[in-house]
Structure formats: C-alpha cells, structure tokens
Structure 1
Amino acid sequence: MIKAAIFDMDGLLIDSERIIMQGCIEAAQRIGIAYTQAQYVELVGRIWSDSSRIMAEQLGGEQPMQQVITGLNTFLDARNHVFPLKSGVVELLQYYREAGVICSVASSSPIPHIEHRLTHTGVLDYFQHVTSGQEVKRGKPNPDIYLLALDKLGLQAEECIAFEDSELGAQAAIAAGLRVIVVPDLKQPSTLVRSQAHQVVESLQHWLENHAELAGCATSLPVVV
C-alpha cells in the first residue's frame, strides 16, 4: 500500500503548458521570430536556469529571449497567471485524502508560481508538501527534486507513487526509484519511458477510474460523479 503520491504541476495538475506555449509563440512572432511547439517542448519540465539557456539558444541570443519573456509575462498578466485544472485532479486528490494517502508536489516552477497557481485552482490545501526546482541544483531529468520530496515526506521511494506529464519529469521520477504514472500533455513519452513507467494513461480521471486500485490504495474505487 502506498503512503504518498507526488505530483508534477504544470501540464499534469493544471493545463498551463499550452497557454504558456501560445504566449511564447505570439511574443516571438511580434519580434519576427517563428517559434514552434517542438522548440517549446524542449523546455517542459526544466528548471529556469536550464530552460532560459535553451530558449536563448533557440531564439538566437539573450536579448531576443528577454523580449519573448517580457511578452510572455504581459500575456500571462492578462490572465492573472491562472490556469484551469486538468481532468480528474480534484476527484483523485479527494480520493487519496479519503484513503489516507499524503499528497505532495514536485514542480520545476518557482515556489511563488506553485502556490499561486494551486491556490487559484482551489487545490493547494490537498498537498502536505511542496518541492520546487528552486531548491535543487540539478533539474529534471536528474532525480534531485524527487529525492528532496521523498526526504520531506520521510518516506522511501517504494512507499510512494509519482505522476508526471513530461519526458524529463518521468525520467527524474524513475531515476529516484519511484513508480511513475505518465499522463502525456504536449508530447507522448518515448519508448524508453513507456517501458520503465508503471502506467501511461490518458488522464488522471482515467487513472482514478481504471487503475487507482493498482497503487494499493483500496480494493475498490469510489463512485465518481
């Protein structure tokens, strides 16, 4: 029986990646640069120091990167940096709460972003711990963020399960020794991640309805309405 579930945030709990990607593409277009989804996906799951370096390389330098970030922030400010929840999030968190499973977040995003986004979607109180990429030297796909999350929980990897949407995030969770449920968002996982993941499912709702009992939480699932 698992004791804790560790969740990534962007693209997994909240539907933010598509919106942020749209903001990047539009901001790049305004300065005459064609920016693609394939380029943006390279950034997904990374800590800021890694993603900003890669983005600068993609855009041709630090200056255009800063212009795109400024445009992106203007785009997100208009939305108050609020994003919708993904399918099944509340139902799964409630299910784990009732089953006595601790829920935790391990996100590459800065702590203020994590708290803001989860507060505005009404789910922050479900999480006992929040671990940010700001707290580790090496970002995903290195296991550091998950090892720190496990340390905060005071649990071993075999006592927990992880949920990820990105390739790098799944690799990090696997490297930390966790069973990982992959819920693809912008890109399907590689053959390698598929072979090492505990499950690949289409949504958290799908996991709850069809696979949650495999995590050892209960012998039967609650009715989800």
Structure 2
Amino acid sequence: MIKAILWDMDGTLIESESLHLATLVEALAHHGVQAGDEMHPFVFGKTGREVHALVRERFGIAVDFGEWSAFRARAYLNGAQRLAPRHGALEVYRAAKAAGITQAIVSNASRMLLEANLRTLGIEEPSLITVSVNDVRHGKPSPEPYERAAWLLRLAPEEVVAVEDSPTGAGGAIAANMRVIGWPVDDEAAALFPSEAQIVRSPDELAAKLGLDAFSMSIDPSLQQRR
C-alpha cells in the first residue's frame, strides 16, 4: 500500500526545463560563450554544481560556483512566475491529496528555486516535506535525497513511490530501494530509464499506477492523451 508519493519537481510537476536551459544559455553568453538547445542533453537532471563543473571543463570558464549560481538564480526567478504546471500533473497531485495520501517533493534544484516553483504551482503548505539539493551532501542520482525524504516522513522505502521525468532521478530513487514511476516527456527519454522503473505516458496512466481510480472522472479528457 502506498503511504506517500515523492514527486520530482522540474519537468515532473512543472514545465521548467526550458527555463533552466535558458538561464544556462544566458549565463554562458555572459561569459562570451554562444550556445543553444544543444546543451539540454548535457544538463538534464543534473545539479547546479554538476552543470557548473561541466561548463568549466567544456568551455574553460573560470567563474566560481557562487557567482555562477547567483547569476542563473536571478535569471530563473525573473521567469518563474510565467511557468506552467505539466499537463495533468496538478490534477494527479490534488487527487492524491484528496485520497489522503501523503506527498513530498524531492528536487535536484536549490532551495531558492524549489520554493519559487512551489509558489508558482500554488502548493506551498507548512506541513509539506520538501528536499532540495541544499539539504543533502549529494544530489540525484545519489539515493540520499530520497532517503532523506523517507526519513523525514518516518516511512520505509517500500512504503513510498517516486515519480520522476528523468533517468537521473529515477536512478536515485531506485538506489534508495523505492518503487519508481517514470513519466518521461517522449519515447527517446523513456528508453534511457532504468529497467526497474514503471513507465507511464499520460496523467491518466500515472493516476492508475498510483491507485487513484476516480482520477479519470475528474481530469479534463483533453489531458488524458497528453504526456
């Protein structure tokens, strides 16, 4: 029986991947490097520190992490209020809440950006457990973020399920001995998930995997076929 759902944030609950990419491109341009969409595969699912290390190695940028991350954070916050939830994600989230299932957020983003996303989605609550990359020594794919969330919820790994849009996050939850539902954006991303992850293609399929039987009655039918 599922006692809690541990949600990834970026790309899973909120359509923020394009904004993260835009802040990276803007930061690179600030340091004289022209880049574009080709950077997305290099940063998808990674922590800010990992991206910083990558661009230092790839482009020879000498800026320290504090200055680099502050620039990207300002750019992100300037655009965060315009972000939208992933189609159907909030409907599943609210259906789980209505069913009495505990939920938590486990993100590879910094605390500042995670809280900006929570505000944009309107799901901030005093009792909501959230884990950001600032709360752990190692981000995903380390199991530490998911292990910390389970510890804070006082639950065992087998009592929770993680929902992820990236193979990186899925790997972290699997390493924490949790059941994982993968909700990739397309077939190409789905092929990269660990074999242990259960792949779904729509909000309706996700709800069914979570045991939310009444979900299909409450969601907009136009969203059921959208990924």
Q: If the length of structure 1 is used for normalisation, what is the TM-score?
A: 0.82
Partner amino acid for 2:210?
A
Gaps spanning 5+ residues in structure 1: where?
A: none
1:4-61 CA-partner distances (Å, limit 9, x unpaired):
1001111111111112212322443454423243434333333333332122212212
Partner amino acid for 1:124?
E
**Aligned residues of 2:85 and 2:121 also touching (Cα < 8 A):** yes
Select which of 205, 211, 218 maps to 1:210: 205
2:148 pairs with 1:122 = no
Tell me which moved more, 210-219 or 116-125: 210-219
Partner amino acid for 2:37?
Q
Give 1:222 shift.
3.6
Tell me which moved more, 130-139 or 120-129: 120-129
Give 1:69 shift.
5.5
Instruction: Give me the whole-angstrom Cα distance separating, in 2, the residues matched to 1:173 and 1:104.
Output: 13
Alignment of 1:42-121 (within 5 A): 42-63=42-63, 72-73=72-73, 75-79=75-79, 83-121=83-121
**Aligned residues of 1:99 and 1:218 also touching (Cα < 8 A):** no
Q: If the length of structure 2 is used for normalisation, what is the TM-score?
A: 0.81
Gaps spanning 5+ residues in structure 2: where?
A: 221-227
2:146 pairs with 1:146 = yes
Partner amino acid for 1:85?
P
1:119-158 CA-partner distances (Å, limit 9, x unpaired):
1221223972101111211221111100111111111222
2:16 pairs with 1:21 = no
Determine helix, strand or coil for the equivalent of 1:196. coil
2:164 maps to what in 1?
164
Instruction: Give me the whole-angstrom Cα distance separating, in 2, the residues matched to 1:220 and 1:152.
Output: 28
1:138-185 CA-partner distances (Å, limit 9, x unpaired):
221111100111111111222111111122111101111122122224
Determine helix, strand or coil for the equivalent of 1:12. coil
Paired residues, number: 220
Instruction: Give me the whole-angstrom Cα distance separating, in 2, the residues matched to 1:96 and 1:48.
Output: 30
Partner amino acid for 1:48?
G
Give 1:218 shift.
4.3
**Aligned residues of 1:104 and 1:149 also touching (Cα < 8 A):** yes
**Aligned residues of 2:184 and 2:190 also touching (Cα < 8 A):** no
Q: Considering only aligned residues, what root-mean-square deviation do their CA atoms show, in Å?
A: 3.0
**Aligned residues of 2:167 and 2:194 also touching (Cα < 8 A):** no
